[in-house]
Amino acid sequence: MSAKVSVAPVRNEVDYDEALKRIDELFNAAVGTPEFDEFDILTILVHDYEQKHYPIGTPDPAATLRHYLDRMEMAAKELEPYIGTKSAVSMILNGRRPLTVKMIRKLHEGLNIPLTLLLGSTEVDSDSSKGMSLTR
């Protein structure tokens, strides 16, 4: 029978800081040991606390496109087949114009960029008088 692990919930910043310190101490614990079990439980508790208190939102579509351009070593000009004119690409990359549904579809299919990243925090508004539209 293995030793019992004693951990406490992470409810505030003090608990959070103490849990992070303990995780750092246990980082190299061997699998199957009580120390590893404590490490495993603490990482779950810290993750839960971070999700509640420090959520990371979806990046805006312009930031997503800039990231993908950099990652795929592409020039902005290479987005023209998916977005349109050089001017339209520039406006979208600078956040002055939103992506249209047609652009999102082309970017997703052509460059394999996840739809959720192209939509950003945009929601689908099905109550529009013109059918479905994307609104911020």
Separation CA 46–CA 101 (nearest Å): 38
104 and 83 within one domain: yes
Question: CA torsion sign, 100 to 102 to 104 to 110?
Answer: negative
Cα distances (Å, whole numbers) of residue 48 to 11, 27, 112: 10, 18, 30
**Average pLDDT of span 62-89:** 95
pTM over 0.85: no
Q: For residue 58, what pLDDT is reported?
A: 77
- pLDDT greater than 80 at residue 127: no
Confidence band, pLDDT 50/70/90 cuts, at residue 133: very low
* Residue at a domain's end among 28, 53, 78: 53
103 and 67 within one domain: yes
Separation CA 56–CA 17 (nearest Å): 19
18 and 39 within one domain: yes
Asked if the structure places residue 5 within a domain, the reply is no
CA dihedral 29, 35, 40, 42 (to 10 degrees): -120
Q: For residue 3, what pLDDT is reported?
A: 63
The CATH number assigned to the domain holding 85 equals: 1.10.260.40
Q: For residue 130, what pLDDT is reported?
A: 37
For the segment 108-120, what is each residue's pLDDT rounded down to a tens digit? Answer: 999 999 998 898 8
* Domain count along the chain: 2
